[in-house]
Amino acid sequence: MGKRLGTFRAFFTVAIACVGSFMFAYDTGIIGGILALESFQTDFRYTAAQKATVASNSNTFFACFFAWPFTSKYGRRWTLVLAAVIFNVGAVIQTINTHHIGGFYAARVISGLGVGVATVVMPMYAAEMAPKAIRGMLGSMMQLFFTLGVMTSYWIDYGVAEHMGPVSAQWQIPIGLQLVPGSILGLGMLFSQESTRWLAMKGRLDEGLASLRWIRGGDSPEVEEEWAEILQWIEEEKRMKAGVTWRELLQPLNRLRIGLIISLQAGVQLTGNTSLAYYAPQIFTLVGAGKNSFLFTGFFGFVKVVACSFFLLVLVERIGRRGALLLGATLMGTYMLIVAILGAKFPTTPTSGLSPPAIASLTMIYLEAMAYNISWGAVSWIYIGEMFPNRIRESGVAIGMATQWLFNFAFSFITPHAVQNLGWKTFLMFAIFNFSLVAYVYIFILETKGRSLEEMESLFAEKFKRWLPAVESSDTEAFTDDKAPEARSTEGQSVDNKKGE
């Protein structure tokens, strides 16, 4: 009963946090359709140049670095509550018809701050609260909620476009509905537990143990063993490197980790799937969907949910992180290449209708979305939350998410110009990117499935020990040894005693 209760509580707690991912996705997905509505164009009279600016949210990059010190001082729960409040303030202002595109963009800047903060803390909180046996499954929930948010936004855009006339309410309803996930996240986190590992790091041991017992469904020998392991590694980290500073990020092993997470998050954008999500109606028009582009966009969101659910329930703890990334990049590269070839051989126009080549291209785009959501879309959330040690997890995740937002911002500008100027060559570009990512994963990415967070240090130190300078050997040896800290301490005392004899 205790284990089942713990599993339920873990799923429930992580699900509440992952509403922030739904919030992020809905905010991302809704804007492309809103910008295409005649009612919005009439009310705000924006130019083509302003369109890409409104669709993007560059300020989320800076929000990531605000989240780092705040969550370190005040914890994961209150940071997510703050993110929800900021997001809702921006959503309320967006809903007001100011007839000024600058005011609407300012409101999106405010909401973007909330989204940026939430995306930093969500993977961190999920990784710190999840049992290691199902951490991959729980981490994948962030991508599942993301796909649900995207799908919801697509169908709401389709609904208002088809069933409402060009009045202000046509765009205000989709924008106003942003308040729903924002409110669920804020209120839900008020009734959730604080991160066990954050409490332990802050020396609030009674609260930390109570949090762990609650999230695991009660006390048990396994819970006590996990708590002891958490405390052991925190003490070991404190002993070795007392006093966290930004210079700690520059130590050789941590530099490698930072480099990996930056390149991994850049790779997420290089797959091309986020660009498809931002400009799905335009992309589907390009390949021949014509007036049905909104309808095809709605089903585009649906296949994402199906694929991510399949990954979460079946694949995540079977093929692992590395296998999923390799498979996903290979499939996405293949599908993008096929779309490029079809576009080159059978060019389409917005009025050409659904020809067989157009149907084949649409099918490939759907399959590409499914491949993304069983690989890079889900695994990037898992990996970023579990690869850093407790001491630098806040800063490491902040840097990783800032990278994701930076490249997200860049591609939100590149994609519409690429679609307009390159046409089918846009898909060829993404195909080349994806095949390059296969080589990247094969060389650099480690398998972390089934490992506790406290084992990550030894995993990365062992893998990259040949790349580390000799001066680091004394530090890395402490973590590459498979034995617990106390065991190593006992062995050290034994050696000293023998020397004394």
305/332: higher pLDDT: 332
Q: Residue 496: inside a domain, yes or no?
A: no
Structural domain count of the chain: 1
pLDDT digits (tens, 9 = 90+) for 381-435: 777 777 777 677 777 887 887 787 788 777 777 776 776 677 778 888 889 999 9
More confident residue, 102 or 484: 102
pLDDT of 251 reads 75
Tell me: pLDDT of 492 over 60. Answer: no
Pair of tokens at residue 357: 């080549």
Under 8 Å between Cβ of 218 and 6 = yes
Half-sphere exposure of 235 (CA within 13 A, CB side): 11
Structural contact between residues 80 and 19, judged by C-beta atoms closer than 8 angstroms: no
Decide which of 448 and 488 is more confident.
Answer: 448
Query: In this predicted structure, what is the pLDDT of residue 297?
Result: 67
pLDDT at 55: 54
State the residue range of the domain holding 369. 2-192+251-451
**Of the ranges 114-128, 304-318, 322-336, 368-382, which is most confident?**
322-336
| Residue range 128-148: mean pLDDT, rounded | 80
Give the integer Cα–Cα distance in Å for 281 and 294: 6
Q: Which pairs with CB-CB distance under 8 Å and at least 24 residues apart come from 340-349? A: 340/424, 340/425, 340/426, 340/427, 340/428, 340/431, 342/287, 342/424, 343/286, 343/287, 343/423, 343/424, 343/427, 344/424, 347/423, 347/424, 348/286, 348/287, 348/288
For residue 456, is it within any domain? no
The pLDDT score that the predictor gives to residue 183 is 95
Domain contains 244: no
Closest CA to 121 of 453, 393, 388, 452: 393
234, pLDDT greater than 70? yes
Looking at the domain assignment, is residue 230 inside a domain? Answer: no
Top pLDDT among 334 and 304 is at: 334
Band the pLDDT of 476: cuts 50, 70, 90.
Answer: very low
Position 378 confidence tier, pLDDT thresholds 50, 70, 90: confident
Residue 346 confidence (pLDDT) above 50: yes
How far is the C-alpha of 39 from the C-alpha of 391, rounded, in Å? 50
Q: How far apart are CA 248 and CA 475, in angstroms?
A: 13
**Does residue 238 lie within any of the structural domains?**
no
Structure confidence at residue 59 (pLDDT): 60
Q: What is the pLDDT of residue 261?
A: 86
Give a yes or no: residue 200 inside a domain.
no
Amino acid at 96: I
Q: Which CATH number goes with the domain that contains 430?
A: 1.20.1250.20
Do the domain assignments include residue 372?
A: yes
CA–CA dist 209, 55 (Å, integer): 44
Interatomic CA distance for residues 176 and 291, integer angstroms: 26
Helix (H) / strand (E) element for 1: namely: none
What are the backbone angles phi and psi of residue 446, rounded to the nearest 5°? -95, 155
Tokens of 248: 């700690």
pLDDT at 333 over 90: yes
Angle at 336 between CA 335 and CA 339, to 5 degrees: 90
Place of tokens 């046509």: 170
pLDDT digits (tens, 9 = 90+) for 49-73: 555 555 555 566 677 777 778 888 8
Residue 105 lies in a domain: yes
Which of 240-244, 270-274, 385-389 has the highest average model confidence (pLDDT)? 270-274
Residues 6+ apart with CB under 8 A from 158: 33, 294, 295, 297, 298
The most confident of 144-148, 175-179, 421-425, by mean pLDDT: 175-179
Indicate whether 143 pLDDT > 80.
Answer: no
Lowest average pLDDT, out of 50-64, 179-193, 328-342, 482-496, goes to: 482-496
Percent of the chain at pLDDT exceeding 70? 78
- Percent share of the chain, pLDDT over 90: 17
Cα 339 to Cα 307, 326, 342, 372, 417: the distances in Å are 20, 20, 5, 16, 18
Q: Is the pLDDT of residue 206 over 80?
A: yes
